Amino acid sequence: MIRSLSNSKQRGFTLIEAVVAAGVFAFVVSSSLAVYLATIQLDSKSRSERAVQQNARFIMDFLSKEVRNGSIDYSGTNNSTTLSLINQLDQAESITFDSAAQVLNLTKAGLGTTSLSSDDVRVVAASFAVYPSSNPFVLANDVHVQPHVTVTLQLASVNLKASESATMNIQSTFVVREYPSRQ
């Protein structure tokens, strides 16, 4: 009979073994959960960065095409927040930074206004620097410089969590391709 009692004691787990097993399981699960949450956060940050980069590339490509294939409209408004151009179809257009709405708008004469940025990205700051400030192609002007525009943008993603947001500062200079004779 003593033999049967000792056999029955060895069949189950002790309380200490159960606590140790539960502790090891909790450690593994919490470590796995932490890695999973960090991966989710990194993925969200990467998506934000990609959205900002794609928007920056789109806006700069668009502005590059418009400036290089068109010309600067010196009779229009050209200041740090507005750029007036005449596009390749000989239509007047302006690119304006709306600081209140944090968007870059394209306005074409007779066609209305469209935003150049997506809903996922806001334009925090934008400035345009036109050089020379007066038309170099008129005979009375002594400036002999190819017109160019320097565009500076700061873009940011629209995220609820600051840790997942992305920002990008970008600057580029575009030169007008045509150099007409003086009038």
Strands of the 92-98 sheet, one edge to the other: 71-72, 82-86, 92-98, 103-108, 112-115
Tens of pLDDT along 111-154?
Answer: 889 999 888 899 999 999 998 888 877 766 666 778 889 999 99
Q: Rounded to an integer, what distance in angstroms lies between the CA atom of residue 83 and that of residue 172?
A: 14
pLDDT digits (tens, 9 = 90+) for 35-93: 999 898 888 888 889 999 999 999 999 999 999 988 888 888 888 899 999 988 888 99
Q: Count of residues for the chain? A: 183
The Cα-based distances of 113 to 78, 89, 124 in angstroms read 18, 17, 19
Q: Is 128 exposed, middle or buried (0-12, 13-18, 19+ CB in 10 A)?
A: buried
